[in-house]
Structure 1
């Protein structure tokens, strides 16, 4: 077989995994850091790397993936984090480049990608009930502190189009998807968007974190045992609805456990989560609580869309046709989801 050193123009990369040593070199060059250790944490929506620099200080480098939704939202994300840090909210703050920028652009084979650096957050993901109370508390503080944010606007909103409209477009582009499955999604998404339009006037709007599923914050305890939570990974932050930001946590639990209704542990976590949110001054209306099943379904559609929108990167195995068909039944069950407290006044739980 003949071989050639020339690049084949038909050999088109869709996503590259950059070597940790390259990320270390870029961090040293653009951030002026003496990197002693760098390792890939995981590939996913973005590629994240752990860095340790001289003196033992730790950072996380995020190499943004080219997403089907459009351009990187990094200017908004980093400006919001600086604003929240200035308001005393526990967040993983960004690190400026030596030139004073929020990130750098790197020429990867598939196209230009952004690289940003963040401070490492100590602690562990929430597990105990008071961990979920602490998580609810920091989310309430984040929502309150973001009210006067006036930096670069988000390129994306967590609205009907952002949560479900794009997903429908990507489903329509799914190669060979059964016409009946597609029709079911068209009907479901149309119905949910109508429900959202009817509920929207009564819903509380916030600047959402967008991905508070329990693995994007760490909980730390001080010497007295008092716990606080710190949020990170604001890549999906943007203007949206309180019910959506609150609903991501129970959605994640239901999905990971393969449940169509809440179990006792989820109800306990949910009660403590809301108690923490309210203890920090967060206001939740009956309309917000009533909309939770709607937004849990919309969150599932958003997540599903991230899979079907990246078939070029992740392949069809992340959202095969049989799985897509089953999710119609799952969301039908979640439409009747009961997480416990029926009204804002009945949300109890221990003091935080």
Structure 2
């Protein structure tokens, strides 16, 4: 009766059948890890969002702001962090506006931490002020910054990306994940198999004429901020290079119009998209970026391939995000959506780009 009550250990509470697929780490744990491995006194830490990776906002002693990224176990394979951080250091050294990483106290680009689902990487990046592009001159500034990024990356010679943005990376993996989708209607799967085969044939035919660059890979307008400089001009700074890799200029350019077609849908008029695109392309060219007729003609192809890449990220993470991220009825509709995008007209003849962004 009077014996001491036994305190249960965490192992006593853990069901042996429990298999974790993803841990959302508490902000205080991330703050402690940053303090331990980076030697920074963290005053504030908060989860920004869970997505392809988990990102946390930090403020350290002295007021400096950072973003800590806890890399998620992605179905594509190992972390690409060695390439990403080396590329950022190279671009920063060339004067390109990027959110470069911060080395650990031991001089490493990142640390590896054990989570219940497996080992994950943690890296720390500088915070970027400003906001996502909204005004037309901000889309022009984004295009200019992307052109400078592509030019500066030409002589990058560091660790290679593990994930080139080729046909397999954009669509091949997606098809494999669709085939593993539980209970997917055979007709829907057959439609995707036919579509992906046709798009990859089109890519193979166009490939010899297309411009190759080291792509940012995720230039959808929400991975860069625009800030005003001391002279009142606007400049763009890019961040989140986890999907960077060697690929095609038409892909890196096409991600922005895809983003607004996908995110805004009917809420965005065609004229609004065309205005943004015209300024974006004109800004790219104003900074010395060369876009050929073949690159422009391939934009509808790459907008569809981008959509398949994005769709694949959802169907490849059913264990983490669930089927609601890409339900079967939505998957069925995307075949028609991509068929409509084949007719997109993003030719610069809609505006005069010779004199810079239209006014």
Q: Please give the TM-score of this superposition, normalised by the length of structure 1.
A: 0.96
Is 1:320 aligned to 2:315, yes or no?
Answer: no
1:7 is displaced (CA, Å) by 2.7
In structure 2, the gaps of 5 or more residues are: 1-7
Give the Cα–Cα distance (whole angstroms) in 1 for the partners of residues 135 and 352 of structure 2. 24
State the Cα deviation string for residues 36-94 of structure 1 (Å, max 9, x = none).
00000000000000000000000000000000000000000000000000000000010
2:342 equivalent to 1:335:
yes
Counterpart check, 1:272 vs 2:286: no
Residue 247 of structure 1 corresponds to 254
1:171 pairs, out of 155, 171, 178, with 178
CA contact (8 A) 2:103 2:124 kept: yes
**Counterpart in the other structure of 1:18:** 25
Equivalenced residues, count = 350
In structure 1, runs of 5+ residues without a counterpart are: none
For residue 90 of structure 2, the aligned residue among 76, 83, 99 is: 83
C-alpha separation between the residues in 2 aligned to 1:297 and 1:260? 20
Residue 79 of structure 2 corresponds to: 72
What CA RMSD, in Å, does the superposition of the two structures yield over aligned residues? Answer: 1.8
Q: For the structure 1 residues 134 and 321, does the alpha-carbon distance in structure 2 shift closer, same or farther, using more than 3 Å as the test?
A: same
- Matches of 1:248 and 1:53, distance apart in 2: 34
Query: Contact between 2:296 and 2:347, CA under 8 Å: does it hold in 1?
Result: no
After TM superposition, the structure 1 = structure 2 runs for residues 1-352 of structure 1, keeping only pairs within 5 Å, are 5-259=12-266, 263-342=270-349, 349-350=356-357
2:101 and 2:86 map into 1 onto residues whose CA distance is 9
How many angstroms apart in 1 are the aligned matches of 2:53 and 2:349?
37
Change (3 A) 1:156 1:84: same
Instruction: Tell me, yes or no, if the aligned pair for 1:35 and 1:53 is still in contact at 8 Å.
Output: yes
Normalised by the length of structure 2, the TM-score is: 0.94
